[in-house]
């Protein structure tokens, strides 16, 4: 009733059945749209978790933020936000909503960097403008005011001139990596910390919904993306 939104539930798995299913968090407010749920979770080392919730398609790609109660830049909702929760669904920091960060469009990958509580997120932009972000507490990642993506208008060239809000995130957090001018629709995210491929330890891996591919992203000591490679063995499956 009242629309739809991202929700988080917990249960015990018994055989193939879920028992004691309990919804512990719901995105607010519910909206009529059926897109951009986000809906990724990542666990911290302290037993709390992050939920990356999408902006539900409520913002158009204009570079202007809505001022009503569903606007992403409105601090009174969990639209286009990452929230930090305890395992019972209550805010981990004791605030009313548990908002960790804001300005997100459609997070489709989330991972905590091994040995830390750093949250990394991949999210879909509009045409072009997909992002990899290091998501820090209290920071704003710019949507819908800034994006390296472009409006959904096939008549316009996909170059820097069409980037929403000019692209560069002045006043907001710059993404660590972007996919332009063509979207890859990143989905899923993980850090590799195994032993079989030592040269890849610490690298970030992201799948993609835009074609059959897997991205390997190398970070430097400051957390900046210094190179990006498509894994050929995966890409060839397409």
Instruction: Show the tokens assigned to 169.
Output: 């995130």
Asked if pLDDT for residue 140 goes beyond 90, the answer is: yes
User: Could you read off the pLDDT of 73-106 as tens digits, one per residue?
Assistant: 999 999 999 999 999 999 999 999 999 999 999 9
Say whether 84 is catalytic: no
Q: What is the mean pLDDT of residues 191-220?
A: 94
The answer to whether residues 184 and 124 touch, using CB atoms and an 8 Å cutoff, is: no
Instruction: Show the tokens assigned to 46.
Output: 């302290």
User: Can you give the pTM of this predicted structure?
Assistant: 0.95
How far is it, in rounded angstroms, from Cα 43 to Cα 62?
A: 34
Phi first, then psi: give them for residue 233, nearest 5 degrees. -65, -30
The answer to whether residues 201 and 193 touch, using CB atoms and an 8 Å cutoff, is: yes
Indicate which residue of 36, 84, 104, 169 is catalytic.
Answer: 36
């Amino acid at each position: 009733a009242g629309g739809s939104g991202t929700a988080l539930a917990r249960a015990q798995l018994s055989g193939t059945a879920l028992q004691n299913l309990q919804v512990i968090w719901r995105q607010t407010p519910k909206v009529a749209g059926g897109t951009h749920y986000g809906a990724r979770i990542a666990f911290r080392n302290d037993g709390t978790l992050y939920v990356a919730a999408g902006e539900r398609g409520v913002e158009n790609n204009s570079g202007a933020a809505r001022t009503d109660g569903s606007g992403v830049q409105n601090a009174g909702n969990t639209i286009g936000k990452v929230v930090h929760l305890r395992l019972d669904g209550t805010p981990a920091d004791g605030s009313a909503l548990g908002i960790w960060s804001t300005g997100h469009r459609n997070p489709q990958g989330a991972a905590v960097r091994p040995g830390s509580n750093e949250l990394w997120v991949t999210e879909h932009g509009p045409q072009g403008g997909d992002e990899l972000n290091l998501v820090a507490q209290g920071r704003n990642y710019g949507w819908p005011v800034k994006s390296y993506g472009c409006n959904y208008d096939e008549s316009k060239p996909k170059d820097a001139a069409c980037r929403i809000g000019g692209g560069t995130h002045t006043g907001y957090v710059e993404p660590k990596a972007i996919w332009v001018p063509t979207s890859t629709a990143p989905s899923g995210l993980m850090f590799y910390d195994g032993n079989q491929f030592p040269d890849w330890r610490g690298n970030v891996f992201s799948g993609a919904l835009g074609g059959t591919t897997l991205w390997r992203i190398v970070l430097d000591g400051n957390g900046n993306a210094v190179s990006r490679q498509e894994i050929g063995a995966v890409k060839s499956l397409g």
